[in-house]
Amino acid sequence: MNTDRPDLYNMTLAELEALMQRWGEPAYRARQIYRQLYANLAGDPAAMTDLPKRLRERLAGEARIGTLTLTRDLSADSGLTRKALFALPGGEVLESVLMIYPDRATVCVSTQSGCAMGCVFCATGRLGLLRNLTSGTIIEQVIWAAREVQALGTNEPVADVRDDRWWATEEEASPTGKLPGRLTNVVFMGMGEPFANYDRWWRAVEQLHDPAGLNMGARNLTVSTVGLVPGIERLAGEALPINLAISLHAPDDELRSEMMPVNRRYPIAVLLDATRRYTEQSGRRVSFEYVLLQGRNDTPAHAEALATLLRGMLCHVNLIPWNPVPGMPLGRSERRRVLEFQAILRERSVPCTVRVERGVAIAAACGQLAGTPQPLPLVERSIE
């Protein structure tokens, strides 16, 4: 593959117009190509039939539409959860997960191959950082998901997947209705730390939001960070009001430092000060993600401490019972402990929900992404 050819997904509309100018083409050709890429989801210049043949041939020979190679596609939850394993030109891998619900279709995308953050409960962190992704590679994952949803159409009934969501309410566990028909949400919660690749990640955000492209609303975009304070401060000043989720996972520095090495650089007090400034400046609520590990951070005392820590903040807590990763000597919180933890937070006026589980059987759930080529064996979920 000629890696010198520009990847069209890496180019803004203005940059595509500049390319057309260099090629001696009128500016409106760039707008046609851009519409084909994002509105029509075209993956081959030959499909861009509103372009003259000579331009289609030149695009095929001198440019690329994406750089990823899909090496494996796994499904779970009656086909409503899909995981794609992609290879980069250099051989590094990354994963994306598509989750379809009656009212929305969400794709979880990666911003890096691997991750340098080293959180003890996360499979991705065991890889270390392999490579930062370009904005185009991030966008390409979204395009994959958009094509998948489009291919499914809107007439297929949403199946009952309650067996994979053991703490969900009856309404959550037994969705009814038709498929949404289009991709509605993007969460930057896959492999990697978005704020450690901020410039390229934010460029992807702006392109996804572009009305001339996919035209995704800012409120339909969510970024998750381990708590890199400079990134939080920078996001507060951005014009697009996307959603922010912060991985907290412990109510005190000693425990959080054991679980998340980043806490040694940005301890909880520093992180929460930055978060308060963020909510004051942006006016937007923050979500705190909290992975529950049996006997480690899931006791009533931990819940009490967390409620005290977050009292008065404009926030929401998203509880995530740990998803199993082979070789990690950790335990998944029992259902009783999850619900007790949630009840304590709610009684102390901290908004709190439990994340509905998707894709555990194919290692597609939170914390499981690590370029796994094969499905994981099913792990029995506690019902005590």
Catalytic residues: 95, 366
Q: Measured between alpha carbons, how far is residue 5 from residues 16, 47, 67, 141, 178 in Å?
A: 13, 19, 10, 20, 41
Beta bridge partners of 94: 86
Q: What is the distance between the alpha carbons of residues 246 and 228, in angstroms, rounded to a whole number?
A: 9
Contact present, 226 and 247 (Cβ < 8 Å): yes
Burial 255-273 (b: 16+ CB within 10 A, else e): bbbebbbbbeebebeebbe
Q: How far apart are CA 57 and CA 255, in angstroms?
A: 58
> Cα separations (Å) of 352 from 306, 313, 348?
11, 13, 10
C-alpha 135/C-alpha 133 separation (Å) is: 7
What is residue 225's three-state secondary structure?
strand
Nearest to 118 by CA among 315, 257, 321, 324: 257
Q: Is 76 exposed, middle or buried (0-12, 13-18, 19+ CB in 10 A)?
A: buried
Residue entry with tokens 């009212």: 103
* 105-108 and 185-188 strand pairing: parallel
